[in-house]
Amino acid sequence: MGQLVEFALRGGGTVLVEIEAGAASGADVSSPGGPITGQAATSFEEALDKIRPAIERVVGSLASLEPQPDEFSIELGIGMTATLGAFISIPGASNLHLTLTWKNRS
């Protein structure tokens, strides 16, 4: 098991994210030796906001294909660390796996 880092949620509450051992360096250590090894430098949403523009570019580029596909799907790996937040990762080594699917509505 990796380390658990606590990310604050906008509007209150927190979410724990398991990260690779050692990836929490630079985080505020909240309970040394305990189950939660640190607190993230940003909120969960702020971390994800870092990769949003890249995802929007990929989707926009593929959505403008001609001829339009009947359906397309994108699978992304999203890695997270306490200090960097979110980043696009190798799918097998990521914390989150995101699949987006669009179906032609015509």
Of residues 88, 80, 82, the one with CA closest to residue 6: 82
Residue-number span of the structural domain to which 61 is assigned: 3-103
pLDDT 10s digit of each residue in the chain, 106 long? Answer: 678 899 999 999 999 998 876 655 444 444 445 567 788 999 999 999 999 999 899 888 887 888 877 777 888 888 888 888 899 887 677 877 878 787 766 5
CB of 37 within 8 A of CB of 57? no
Please state the pTM of the whole predicted model.
0.72
Structure tokens at 10: 């906008």
Q: Structural domain tally of the chain? A: 1
The predicted pLDDT at position 29 comes to 44
The predicted pLDDT at position 67 comes to 83
- DSSP label at 26? T
Instruction: Report the alpha-carbon distance of residue 95 to residue 87 in Å, rounded.
Output: 10
